[in-house]
Amino acid sequence: MSVWHKELTTTLLLFILVAIAGGITGWFLQLTLLLTVGLLIYQLIQINRFEKWLSAMARGTYHKPTGVWEEIYYHVYCIRKNNKKRKKKLSKMIDQFRQSTEALPDAAVVLGKNDEIEWTNKAARDVFGLQQTDKGQRIPNLVRFPEFIRYINSGNYTEPVVIPSPVNQYITLSVRIVPYGAGLRLLLAQDVTQIKIMERMRKDFVANVSHELRTPLTVLKGYLETLQDMDEGLSPILTSSFQQMHGQTERMQHLVDDLLLLTRLESQQKKAACVNVPALLGQICREGDTLLTGRIELTIEADSNIMGDEQELRSAFTNLLVNALKYSPNDSIVKVRWYSDQEDIILAVEDQGEGIAKVDINRVTERFYRVEVKRREKVSGTGLGLAIVKHVLMRHDAQLVITSELGKGSCFSCHFPVKRVCH
């Protein structure tokens, strides 16, 4: 029999007994009322004890209850025991998590809503020179690099920021912020000193090699031109060899020039002056149409000028125009358009060539990437032109958008943000 059944049966029996006693004595109503009040007082006392026990966090001793109250006490006791077990497990998990994050080689700092430090791991204390007592301090007051403060205030954490370590200027850190939870942010810093050193070595190597190749190439080309001038066409094999050698040295010279330009774009300080883009485009188109074929159609719909480096913009725009002419039939039109929409100022170079396959579109801006067909057809090129375009545009906060359809043509557009417009 369940406890509830027992409780009900006992209460019912009590009422029957009282009813019988009431019948015999003639005090039925009085006795029934007495029993009801008695039961009510008993329950009130039990509730009072239970409430006191609960308010003491269900700890300590309690009067041994009977009936259904014993069950209630037992259930609460079980719930408490389970909670205790779960709490122990959770705190063990948190401890393990803390230990693992403490051992992480990357620095981790939990930041609150106002950039205050809530928690740090050992690596963070080491590379940022933070103390355990810095908890609650605002991190911009402790790590005072302007680019770091700008990054933290920007709210745009898609790209990491690279700063030197405040405790050792020879350590380079790549810092990234990951927002999570309600207003919390996790700041992660990775030591990228080795990567940066390797990157600098690669840049220096390419720059030095390209530079050193320049002089021998110029000498070779000079002698070849002299030999070509001296050649009287008596030996067709010699004549064609000279031509091929000349072609290849020119190709190599382009390669070296493009590599040097890329190195400069990667390492040089940005220059900014107001560039008259419509005039620049007019010049480039005139130069591109040396054979006066009339293939280039220039439309200037915006008179906006752009803040930037004229030389860099010239090479980017020239590369796009040369590609459009090179990769489309000799009798097709290439449209060059300078216009603005609601968001950007745009230069679009559109051709009616054979287009680029979808799989290649994302890769054509990679260094030395050339679509296989072009390699096979031996269309001359270095595979560096679009890499240069991408770099120049990056330095001007602009973006390159490529749309292309095989067999129909391609459109390369450079989107400059309005903030770059100047007068």
Return residues touching ligand ADP (CB under 6 A): 319, 323-324, 327, 351, 353, 356, 364, 369-371, 374, 381-387, 410
* Nearest residue (CB) to ligand ADP, 35 versus 324: 324
Beta carbon of residue 327, minimum distance to ligand ADP (angstroms, whole number): 3
Q: At what angle do helices 277-288 and 310-326 cross, to 10 degrees?
A: 40
**Residue for token pair 């992660």:** 188
Given 3-state DSSP classes, what are the helix, strand and coil percentages for the chain, each rounded to the nearest 5? 55, 20, 25
> Minimum Å distance from CB 104 to ligand ADP?
41
- C-beta of 130 vs 371, nearer to ligand ADP: 371
Minimum gap (Å) between residue 339 Cβ and ligand ADP:
19
In terms of CB distance, is 331 or 343 closer to ligand ADP?
331
Closest contact distance (angstroms) between CB of 417 and ligand ADP is 24
Q: Which is nearer to ligand ADP, 121 or 323 (CB)?
A: 323
In whole angstroms, how close is the CB of 195 to ligand ADP at the nearest point? 26
Between CA 269 and CA 182 the distance in angstroms is 40
Query: Which string of b and e fits 337-346 if b means at least 16 CB within 10 Å?
Result: bbeeeeebbb
Nearer to ligand ADP, 187 or 316 (CB): 316
**What 8-state DSSP symbol labels residue 335?**
E
Judged by CB, which is closer to ligand ADP: 161, or 265? 265
CB of 150 to ligand ADP, least distance (A): 33
If residue 371 lies in a helix (H) or strand (E), which one and from where to where?
A: none
Interatomic CA distance for residues 420 and 274, integer angstroms: 9
In the bound complex, what is the minimum distance in angstroms from residue 384's beta carbon to ligand ADP? 6
CB of 275 closer than 8 Å to CB of 305? yes
- What DSSP letter does each residue of 382-420 carry, written as one string? -S-HHHHHHHHHHHTT-EEEEEEETTTEEEEEEEEEGGG
**How many CB atoms within 10 Å of residue 178?**
11
Q: Which is nearer to ligand ADP, 277 or 384 (CB)?
A: 384
Q: Are 362 and 382 in contact (CB under 8 A)?
A: no
Following DSSP, what letter does each residue of 106-174 receive, concatenated?
Answer: SEEEEE-TTSBEEEE-HHHHHHHT--GGGTTSBGGGTS--HHHHHHHHH---SS-EEEE-SS-TT-EEE
